[in-house]
Amino acid sequence: MGKFSRRQVIRTSLAAGAFLTATRCAAPSGTPNNPAPGPQVNTNQTKDVTLRLIGTGVSQINDIRDKAQEDLGFKFDMRALSTEENNQIAITQPGQYDIFDGEYFSLPLVVPSGNLQPIDIKRITNYDQIVSFFRTGEFKGLPVETSQGTAPFKVQYLTGPDSKEFSDTPTDYATLIPFQYNADTLGYRPDLVGRTIESWGELFNEEFRGKTSILDIPQIGIMDAAMVAESLGLMTFADKGNMTRAEIDQIIEILKEQKANGQFRAFWKTFDESVNLMSSGEVVLQSMWSPAVTAVQSQGTECIYAPLKEGYRGWGGGIGLSKNLEGVKLDAAYEYINWMLDGWVGAFLGRQGYYSAAPETARKFMSTAEWDFWYEGKPAAEDMVDPFGKTLAKAGVSRDGGSFDERFGNIVCWNSTMKENTYLVQKWNEFIAS
């Protein structure tokens, strides 16, 4: 890994946090949205602790902070940052945070800094409940190595208690403890498209000229473009998550040609930009994230998260510990990680379409109808609402893409930081400016 620079990490949106924190959860404890109370812990030793968290807006949510403080008895100072800022602080300012909430594809940048201490998995209560593709590198008996990019298992373990080196096999020491993840795809407006979208290749279809968008985050946008190009037979990649310079050059030329032909209406960087483009009808088909689709749906606009025949692009996020944590604050941080896996957070985020790293614990805090809809792919037995009480799906509707097994059994690439990352960003910027 070369010297770190600002151009080596992606930008993501703070708007997710703004959207998620705009309203408070209307459902009180004990309702179908909160069928069980949060976990209780002994706070005698940690009651005076304040833990400083850095992360992106996806999970730095006031409702989660408030619930954690209520259940754990100590305080949290949460900062919602862009992915670039989050990684920069993790790498260069270890004294500014206690807990790092980051994505697995960022770890090849962050871990070599030595600013994250290996996590002792023997102290993680529900570690054995975490889904297998994080713990063992397998899913339904198949190795995740069949997926391209930075599959979380490839950077899940460290070789020892003081190590900055990734282990190819499970050890007692983890980089992050996962808590959420998803399988990304394209979103579209069925009322404006007029038919079912089944292939990534539709993003370049002349039928939608001037009405498509691809996200302007180089490391992710380039992988979405690669999925499109492969589906159309325009080119192939040895590993979409680790392209060669020649592959980068070729896919960028394809993108420049599409742009010159007027295929794209816009390029979005933030969560709210993608929501606005879709809800306004300016764009009818685009790269999209699951909670953005649900945000459009919650406005009363029909929007579909397309299950595409070529498969999904996956990502995962987790919690890491600053090297400076020790004593009572370190104990409190472990309590927080265990609380994150206990189920309440998994259910809260699950109502937006994310998956919990420990699904069976999240199930305790979901109604049967919610579990069947979000995880089993069954038609909703009742209206499905998000954590803030907005209706996302009417009774009788099934989740786009089906069940958890169907989605995660069909991930073909994971978000990744490529070896040629600096060159990629340079060429991507050429495309955007062309």
pLDDT tens-place string over residues 198-226: 999 999 999 999 999 999 888 889 999 99
Q: Looking at residue 144, what is its pLDDT?
A: 65
Q: Looking at residue 157, what is its pLDDT?
A: 98
Q: Which one is predicted more confidently, 29 or 318?
A: 318
Average pLDDT over residues 371-384: 95
Among 22-36, 288-302, 364-378, name the one with the lowest average pLDDT.
Answer: 22-36
Q: Looking at residue 297, what is its pLDDT?
A: 85
Report whether 342 contacts 367 (CB < 8 A).
no
Q: Looking at residue 2, what is its pLDDT?
A: 38
Q: Using the predicted structure, report yes or no on whether residue 81 has a pLDDT greater than 70.
A: yes
Q: How does the average pLDDT of the chain come out, rounded?
A: 87
Report whether 424 contacts 218 (CB < 8 A).
yes
Report whether 244 contacts 420 (CB < 8 A).
yes
Distance, CA of 82 to CA of 180 (rounded, Å): 17
Average pLDDT over residues 228-247: 95
Instruction: Please give the structure tokens belonging to residue 49.
Output: 């602790």
Q: Looking at residue 42, what is its pLDDT?
A: 47
Distance, CA of 313 to CA of 315 (rounded, Å): 7
Q: Using the predicted structure, report yes or no on whether residue 146 has a pLDDT greater than 90.
A: no
Distance, CA of 39 to CA of 59 (rounded, Å): 19
Average pLDDT over residues 348-358: 92
Beta bridge partners of 314: 183, 414
Distance, CA of 409 to CA of 312 (rounded, Å): 9
Q: Using the predicted structure, report yes or no on whether residue 20 has a pLDDT greater than 60.
A: no
Domains plus CATH for the chain? 50-182+314-368 (3.40.190.10), 184-310+396-433 (3.40.190.10)
Average pLDDT over residues 23-39: 40
